[in-house]
Amino acid sequence: MTFSIIIPAHNAADRIERALNSIWEQSFKDWELIVVCDRCEDGTAEIAEEYGADKVIHVDFGNDGLTRNAGLAAASGDWVLFMDDDDWFLHEFVLREIYEHLGDFDILLFGFIFRHIGVAHPIQHGNSLWPAVWNKCYRRDYIKDHAFKDIKYESDLDWTRRLFEKDPVCEILDEPLYYYNYLRPGSLSVQKEAEK
C-alpha cells in the first residue's frame, strides 16, 4: 500500500462528500482511506462507509489531534496524507503527482489554495514552512512514534513544529494540490477567532 489518507471528522455529513469525491476521483488507486469519526451523531460514518472507506473508526475524544493519532495507529501505507473533512484535492492527478515525486526523503511538501487568499507555496516568505499537516506527505516509518498532543486548537501546528525540530529530510513540490477551506463557518479556525 502506497498511501494512507486520514480524515478526522466531526459531524461532517453536510461537507465530507466533497473531500471523499476528490479522493475517489484520483487516477492513482494504490491507497487506503481512514475516516476517524470523533463524536459523530449525524451520519458522517455512514457516508464514509457508502464511499467505501477502508476503515471507519469511532472515537470519543472531542479533539482533532487525538483523532489523527487514532488514524495513524490504523494506517498501513508507506506514506501518510492528512485531509480535513471540509477540504479536498484540487484535481484527479494529485496522488499521481505525489507518487511520481516520492524518493529517499521523509516529507514531501506541496502548495495549496488558501480560500479567500489564493495560491500558497510550501515555503512562506522568510523561508519558513507552512505548519499545517495537510499540505505534506509523510513517510510513515518516520512519523510512527510522533503523536499529536491533547490541545484544543492547532494541535496540527504543534505536531508539525515538533516534527520539524527532528530535522527531517524534505523535498518540495511547488505546485498547489490541495484546497484549504479556510474560515468555513463552524470550523475550529472560526471558533478560535471568536474566542479572541
99, 177 Cβ separation under 8 angstroms: no
Can you give the pLDDT at residue 185?
55
HSE (CB half, 13 Å, CA atoms) of 46?
5
Q: How many CA atoms lie within 13 A of 77 on its CB side?
A: 23
User: Where does the pLDDT of residue 43 fall: very low under 50, low under 70, confident under 90, or very high at 90 and above?
Assistant: very high
User: Other CB atoms closer than 10 Å to residue 107's CB: what's the count?
Assistant: 21
Average pLDDT over residues 146-165: 93
Q: What is the pTM of this model?
A: 0.92
DSSP state letters, 116-144: TTEEE-SB-TTS-B---STTEEEEHHHHT
Q: How far apart are CA 158 and CA 13, in angstroms?
A: 27
Q: Where are the alpha helices (DSSP H) in 52-154?
A: 64-74, 94-101, 140-143
* The pLDDT of residue 193 is above 90: no
| pLDDT tens string 3-12 | 999 999 999 9
Q: Residue 184: what pLDDT?
A: 53
Set out the domains of the chain in order of their start, with CATH numbers: 3-195 (3.90.550.10)
| Total Cβ atoms within 10 A of residue 110 | 23
